[in-house]
Amino acid sequence: MVLAMVTGGTSGIGAAFARALANRGDDLVIVARDQARLDETALALRTEYGVEVEIISADLADRADVVRVAARLSDATRPVGLLVNNAGFGVHTSLLAEDTTPHERALDVMVRAVLMLGAAAGRAMRTRGTGSIINVSSVAGFITMGSYSAVKAWVASYSQGLAVELAGSGVRVTTLCPGWVRTEFHSRAGIRESSIPEFLWVDVDELVAACLADAAKGKVMSVPSRRFKFLMFVIKHAPRGGIRWASGRISSSRKD
């Protein structure tokens, strides 16, 4: 059993990680913006699984809040043994939009916060000689769908670089690359779920279980489900022009 921190732990993939970790007996630190949802989630996890749940209300777009969460990761009195850098959201805004605020917020939450929290956790875990970091990227990071793809490409590359720096330290780093997962994420991002073929959907609990198994084995890249492993193989070997064409077709599934 370890103490695990999950960012964005009140919904979607983050909530599934929290449930899976609590189910195996891990105590939790859950980070999210909404205090009411944090309280509700913590109560449900304590009641159902009998684990301790610490909550931190923080907006990871705010650097001061990220510093506060990083300080919790650095606290040696009750060390965090697993960090799941999951907080994020879809970006529907055009790269040509005059208002670039949505893109800037995406960089703050899914790049800067991941970097700062990964660094804090990595330093603390390296000192102890043990620990695990899971950074949630996406299959979208290997195609070309606006700033979301760019952000998730950074997460995938960063995670592999972090794994290189921590090699031999006892600290494992895993990049989770989900595809289409059954959560509220896609409706929030403005994507018509009906436009995505049924066979491409992955169950969120199965996704998390596969990722945790991969992390335990020390795998640096986790792509749950055979169909998405095959899709990733195709993406890596297909001509880039074809990837850009397919990316444009996928982007058409977004709402106007």
Residues of the chain with pLDDT under 70: 144, 180-201, 227-228, 230-238, 242-256
pTM for the whole thing?
0.86
Q: Which residues are catalytic?
A: 148
- DSSP-derived 3-state class of residue 195: helix
Report pLDDT for 252. 57
Tokens at residue 196, please?
A: 């995505």
Q: Report the CATH superfamily, name and number, of domain 3-251.
A: NAD(P)-binding Rossmann-like Domain (3.40.50.720)
pLDDT of amino acid 202: 79
User: For 239, which DSSP code?
Assistant: -
Instruction: Determine the number of helices (DSSP H) and then strands (DSSP E) in the chain.
Output: 10, 9
How high is the pLDDT of residue 107? Answer: 97
Q: Say what the pLDDT of residue 255 is.
A: 46
Residue 70 to residue 157: CA distance in whole angstroms: 21
Q: Where are the domains of the chain?
A: 3-251
Helix 146-166 to helix 113-128 angle, to the nearest 10 degrees? 20
Q: How far is it, in rounded angstroms, from Cα 142 to Cα 175? A: 13
